[in-house]
Chain A
Amino acid sequence: MDETEEKIIKLTQNGIPLTPSPFRDIASSLGLTEEDVVTRIEAMQDKGIIRRFGASIGHRDIGIIANAMCIWNVPDGQVEDVGSTMASFEEVTHCYERPRCPGWEYNLFTMVHSYTREDCEEVAARISQATGIMDYRLLFSEREFKKTGIRL
């Protein structure tokens, strides 16, 4: 990422303005052209510096209040296959392998968001059926203390 790209991210990471030409407004405060700004955002997407350029949703405020972290105890030799299968579920937004540690045996983590806890439980049951992993738990979030996303 070069200096200009960094400036663009810093100026847009809290949200672009709700004006008819938001990219022109951003460009003029950076001394760039609107085309520069758009081209560089597209280039950063292509390079994978930004995953997407779009809206972050306040999902709780619109009723998507069930947020389950599903933790799975997957035999080490099956992690690759099981992780790929879990990731293929549309309802799974995140899927990570993490280390086990003393007193902690769960090594795969998936996030599922939906309108109700029952929806999340149903998704987890389908994942369990598809992967054969029976040792799992759902940890529902009861309070959100912080959610900011990654910032520069």
Chain B
Amino acid sequence: MIYLDDVDKTILNTIQYDFPLDSRPYKKLGERLGISEDEVIRRLGRLHDEGAVRKIGPVINRNSIGGTSTLVAVNVPDERIDEVASYINEYTEVSHNYLRPDRYNIWFTLSASEKGRIYEILDELKAKTGLEFINLPTKRLFKIGVRFNIR
């Protein structure tokens, strides 16, 4: 696990929602935290290299650019989990894919510009794996607000 001191934690809690859209963003962050621009860059370099920060960039709102998304579940026998997960991962339309053991154990999200593409992918996966997939498209969105409270 990555070691975080209090300054790292403050940086991580800040840059999820308050990254300065400024000509010198790291300098601005440093001013807020009482450290130099160099130190911000050095710390972010380590946090990125070690995996605490995956990227700093835009979080795209799929709904606003059109298209459709869904959650799909499938019950896969234990010995086929890696094989089926890799078939699923091949599609760029798959953004998240997890093992969550339950009645269905592989759960993944699919986003595409049109519903037809979703059905096409599900048909292909069914043909490749011989498994039944349940398709649970979003009916209503109440919230998306990923924010980790790092303590």
Contact = CB atoms under 8 A, between A and B. Distances in A.
Interface of A: 1, 9, 12-16, 18, 20-24, 34, 38, 41-42, 44, 47-59, 61-64, 67, 69, 79, 83-84, 86-87, 90, 92-99, 101, 103-104, 109, 113, 137, 139-152
Given A12-B58, A99-B136, A54 B19 contact: yes
Contacts of A97: 138-140, 142
14 contacts: A12-B58, A18-B44, A38-B22, A47-B64, A49-B61, A51-B60, A53-B21, A55-B53, A55-B56, A56-B55, A56-B59, A93-B147, A145-B85, A150-B62
B146 A79 contact: no
Nearest to A144: B98
A62 B52 contact: yes
B41 A18 contact: yes
Contacts of B86: 145
Contacts of A56: 53-57, 59
Interface centre among B15, B57, B86, B100, by most chain A C-beta atoms within 10 angstroms, is B57
Contacts of A67: 98
Contacts, number: 223
Which 5 pairs, one residue from A and one from B, show the smallest C-beta to C-beta distance? A15-B55, A87-B143, A95-B142, A61-B51, A143-B99
Contacts of B19: 53-55
Interface in B1-43: 1-2, 4, 12, 15-19, 21-27, 37, 41
B136 A21 contact: no
Nearest to B70: A98
Given A49-B65, A62-B150, A79 B140 contact: yes
Contact of A24 (B23, B56, B140): B23
Interface of B: 1-2, 4, 12, 15-19, 21-27, 37, 41, 44-45, 48, 50-62, 64-65, 71, 85-86, 88-89, 92, 94-103, 106-108, 111, 134-150
Contact of A61 (B1, B16, B56, B147): B1
Given A15-B55, A20-B41, A51 B144 contact: yes
A9 B54 contact: no
A53 B37 CA distance: 20
Nearest to B56: A55
Contacts of A149: 59-60, 95
Contact of A113 (B21, B44, B148): B148
